[in-house]
């Protein structure tokens, strides 16, 4: 009976691995094909002759470095602001007892329920009056706004489980609230912070609707715009689009696997200390 359960578990894990890896493998094969192979009967087959020139076209023709730099800048500033703001808010509503605590928590929970598409027109009008439309701030500000509620939700849930005795002993030793937050709470909260970083990074890196609405300058466009470089009125370079998607996904994969390892180490360290 135990061997049957073990076999079923391995079968389920194998199915999950295949379903997760196959789309990436298919996209790699897609990026190495010609338009004839992609549009023909060999859509799901291996490329007859790998078209490495698709990656060259994606790199140069898709303005990869320029769009990559814009995405990195916008994402980095957003991540820094989200981590600072959400960690401070989460600490305040989870560790302090004050009258407005439940109200503030409710406000952030409501923020998670507002669809991004419903705010495009109001934000367009607001940004136009603020004279920041078609600037990086027209992306960074809404990204911070929509990313902070879920970050507060994750961090506050973790911080509620931190023993109060740690803060009490530090307070009796003369540490201020800011010192406790900076030297005790933040180091303990590294695992959920890394989770917030991964979720926020993936969401912002792939975001297109707001970027297409608020940005029209070629020099400010982010990575998702690159695929439209290979679409013209009479021709579409499907292989170059696939190559560009692979190049755009590489930073996400690198960040994901790097931070996933740190999350695991942080959880193990927290369990040992506990």
Tell me the per-residue pLDDT of 249-260, one tens digit each, with 9 for 90 and over.
888 888 777 776
* Tokens describing residue 189: 């909260």
- Distance, in Å, from the CA atom of 171 to the CA atom of 167, rounded to the nearest integer, reads 6
* Tokens describing residue 258: 């790097």
Local confidence band at 236 (pLDDT 50, 70, 90 cut-offs): confident
Side-chain-side CA neighbours of 19 within 13 Å: the count stands at 6
Nearest CA among 30, 35, 33 for reference residue 234: 35
- Distance, in Å, from the CA atom of 255 to the CA atom of 240, rounded to the nearest integer, reads 24
Backbone angles phi, psi at 114, to 5 degrees: -80, 120
Tell me: pLDDT of 105 over 90: no
Name the DSSP class of 175. -
Q: Range with the lowest mean pLDDT among 15-24, 40-49, 152-161, 235-244?
A: 40-49
Nearest CA among 105, 103, 142, 144 for reference residue 124: 142
- Distance, in Å, from the CA atom of 155 to the CA atom of 113, rounded to the nearest integer, reads 18
Q: Range with the lowest mean pLDDT among 147-151, 155-159, 269-273?
A: 269-273
Residues written for the chain: 274
pLDDT tens string 26-67:
888 888 888 888 887 666 778 888 888 899 988 988 889 999
Mean predicted confidence (pLDDT) in 13-21: 80
Question: Partners of 231 in the beta sheet?
Answer: 236
- H/E element holding 152? helix 137-159
Domains of the chain plus CATH, in order, are: 63-235 (1.10.3720.10)
* Residue that is written with structure tokens 């060259």 in the block: 56
Q: Under the phi-then-psi rule, with left for phi > 0, alpha for psi from -120 to 50, and beta for the rest, what region is 63?
A: left
User: What's the pLDDT at 137?
Assistant: 94
In Å, the largest CA–CA distance within the chain is 74
Question: Partners of 236 in the beta sheet?
Answer: 231
| Cα-based distances in Å from 132 to 127, 217, 219 | 5, 13, 15
């Amino acid at each position: 009976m135990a061997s049957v359960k073990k076999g079923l578990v391995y079968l389920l894990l194998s199915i999950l691995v295949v379903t997760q890896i196959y789309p990436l493998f298919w996209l790699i094969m897609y990026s190495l094909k010609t338009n004839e192979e992609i549009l023909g009967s060999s859509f799901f087959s291996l490329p007859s002759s790998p078209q490495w020139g698709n990656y060259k076209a994606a790199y140069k023709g898709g303005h990869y470095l320029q769009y990559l730099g814009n995405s990195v800048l916008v994402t980095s500033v957003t991540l820094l602001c989200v981590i600072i703001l959400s960690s401070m808010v989460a600490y305040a509503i989870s560790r302090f007892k004050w009258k407005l605590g439940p109200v503030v928590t409710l406000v952030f929970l409501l923020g998670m329920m507002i669809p991004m598409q419903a705010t495009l027109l109001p934000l367009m009008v607001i940004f136009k009056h603020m004279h920041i439309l078609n600037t990086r701030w027209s992306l960074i500000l809404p990204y911070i706004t929509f990313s902070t509620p879920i970050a507060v939700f994750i961090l506050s849930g973790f911080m509620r489980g931190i023993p109060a005795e740690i803060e009490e002993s530090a307070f009796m030793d003369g540490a201020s609230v800011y010192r406790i937050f900076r030297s005790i709470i933040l180091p303990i909260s590294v695992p959920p912070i890394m989770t917030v970083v991964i979720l926020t990074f993936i969401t912002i890196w792939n975001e297109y609707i707001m970027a297409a609405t608020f940005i029209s300058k070629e020099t400010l466009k982010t990575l998702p715009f690159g695929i439209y470089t290979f679409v013209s009125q009479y021709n579409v370079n499907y292989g170059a689009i696939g190559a560009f998607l692979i190049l755009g996904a590489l930073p996400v994969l690198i960040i994901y696997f790097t931070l996933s390892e740190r999350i695991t180490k942080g959880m193990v360290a927290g369990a040992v200390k506990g």
